[in-house]
């Protein structure tokens, strides 16, 4: 069988993905072609312009990946990686795939650590999942000491892989409610992207509904069960004036502000993401 062009293979792949309802079919097709060939997306685009061929073996490998993606297996599970800020994280079954909107939430924690007068400020990431936020804090604020907690053994394994080389980061397998007691009253920042989807609000996207772990998604009848625990735990962890940052759903800001006010937090404030949807709420420990 003779070689075909990369352009024809990518075009056919994008058409299959579009028919399957993939949001950015050409992007996914180019990324998967790059994964097969060990190239970045820009290199794939350049090869398409040049009219490069694709080998029979690579075409077969791409076809297999497109079949899985058309069945709505997450792109990141197929490539084994997910970008987050300046990082490339290892991800797969059993761990929540970090989203671009969380990159802006992490910025609140990074800015607070950078502005902290302590020569070695402490940051805590509860419900760390893949370790994305914790590793971003550890690498972008190298003088900080970062602690991360994850309850799921599967997710913890992915986080351990991602954070293994970060000397200023400590990862704990455990429940956020009763870990890191030795840090009580010392943290400058506590951040979390906790499970916040109400139990009956089943996500529409098959990638989320079928592949993200339920433990990372669902937060009780109103989605706030873990956030209630997080509020009281963070009050103990933070020093006076320390910052709490919680990622949440776009309709939960008012409920979370009320919850935090009732618990005694100061200045609870909800912040939009780049799409102007409410995405995070911050508050200060008295």
Strand partners, 189: 123, 243
Strand partners, 4: 54
Q: How far is CA 281 from the centre of its chain?
A: 17
The C-alpha atoms of residue 218 and residue 198 are separated, in whole angstroms, by 6
| Residues 23 and 152 grouped into a single domain | no
- Choose one of 49, 71, 93: the last residue of a domain: 71
Strand partners, 270: 281
Q: Is residue 77 part of a domain?
A: no
Q: How many CB atoms lie within 10 A of CB 86?
A: 10
247-276 tens-digit pLDDT: 999 999 999 999 999 999 999 999 999 899
Query: What is the distance in angstroms between the CA of the first residue and the CA of the last residue of the chain?
Result: 71
**Whether 192 contacts 246, CB under 8 Å:** yes
The parts of the chain modelled with pLDDT lower than 70 are 1-3
Q: Is residue 76 part of a domain?
A: no
The C-alpha atoms of residue 139 and residue 143 are separated, in whole angstroms, by 9
Radius of gyration (C-alpha) of the chain in whole angstroms: 21
| Residues 96 and 234 grouped into a single domain | yes
| Residues 267 and 188 grouped into a single domain | yes
- Choose one of 51, 71, 91: the last residue of a domain: 71
Q: Is residue 59 part of a domain?
A: yes
- Choose one of 71, 103, 118: the last residue of a domain: 71
| Residues 11 and 127 grouped into a single domain | no
The number of domains in the chain is 2
Q: H or E element: which one contains 159?
A: helix 153-163
Model-level pTM? 0.91
Structure tokens of 86? Answer: 């300046």
Under 8 Å CB-to-CB from 215, ≥6 apart: which residues? 151, 152, 155, 195
Q: Which domain holds residue 218?
A: 82-284
With CA atoms as reference, report the closest residue to 189 among 139, 253, 151, 141. 141
Structure tokens of 147? Answer: 């602690």
With CA atoms as reference, report the closest residue to 195 among 122, 263, 96, 112. 96
What is the pLDDT at residue 1? 38
What is the pLDDT at residue 2? 46
| Residues 49 and 164 grouped into a single domain | no
| Residues 278 and 185 grouped into a single domain | yes
Domain CATH number, residue 64: 1.10.8.10
The C-alpha atoms of residue 16 and residue 156 are separated, in whole angstroms, by 35
Q: What is the 3-state secondary structure (H, E, C) of 241-274?
A: EEEEEEECCCCCHHHHHHHHHHHCCEEEEEEECC
What is the pLDDT at residue 112? 98
Q: Is residue 40 part of a domain?
A: yes
Q: Backbone phi, then psi, for 276, in 5-degree steps? A: 70, 20
The C-alpha atoms of residue 116 and residue 110 are separated, in whole angstroms, by 10
């Amino acid at each position: 069988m003779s070689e075909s062009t990369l352009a024809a293979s990518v075009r056919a792949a994008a058409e299959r993905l579009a028919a399957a309802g993939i949001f950015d079919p050409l992007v996914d097709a180019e990324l998967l072609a790059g994964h097969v060939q060990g190239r970045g997306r820009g290199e794939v685009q350049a090869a398409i312009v040049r009219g490069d061929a694709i080998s029979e073996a690579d075409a077969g490998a791409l076809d297999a990946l497109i079949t899985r993606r058309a069945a709505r297996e997450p792109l990141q599970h197929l490539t084994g990686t997910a970008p987050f800020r300046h990082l490339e994280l290892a991800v797969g079954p059993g761990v929540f795939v970090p989203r671009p909107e969380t990159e802006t939430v992490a910025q609140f924690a990074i800015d607070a650590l950078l502005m902290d007068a302590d020569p070695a400020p402490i940051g805590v990431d509860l419900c760390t999942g893949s370790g994305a936020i914790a590793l971003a804090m550890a690498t972008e604020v190298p003088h900080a000491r970062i602690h991360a907690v994850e309850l799921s053994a599967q997710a913890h394994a992915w986080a351990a892989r991602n954070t293994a080389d970060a000397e200023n980061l400590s990862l704990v397998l455990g429940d956020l409610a009763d870990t890191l007691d030795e840090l009580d009253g010392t943290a400058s920042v506590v951040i979390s992207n906790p499970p916040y989807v109400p139990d009956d609000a089943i996500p529409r996207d098959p990638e989320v509904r079928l592949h993200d772990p339920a433990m990372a998604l669902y937060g009780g009848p109103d989605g706030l069960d873990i956030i209630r625990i997080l509020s009281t735990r963070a009050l103990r962890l933070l020093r006076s004036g320390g910052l709490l940052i919680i990622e949440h759903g776009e309709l939960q800001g008012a409920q979370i502000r009320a919850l935090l006010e009732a618990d005694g937090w100061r200045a609870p404030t909800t912040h939009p993401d780049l799409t102007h949807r409410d995405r995070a709420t911050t508050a200060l420990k008295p």
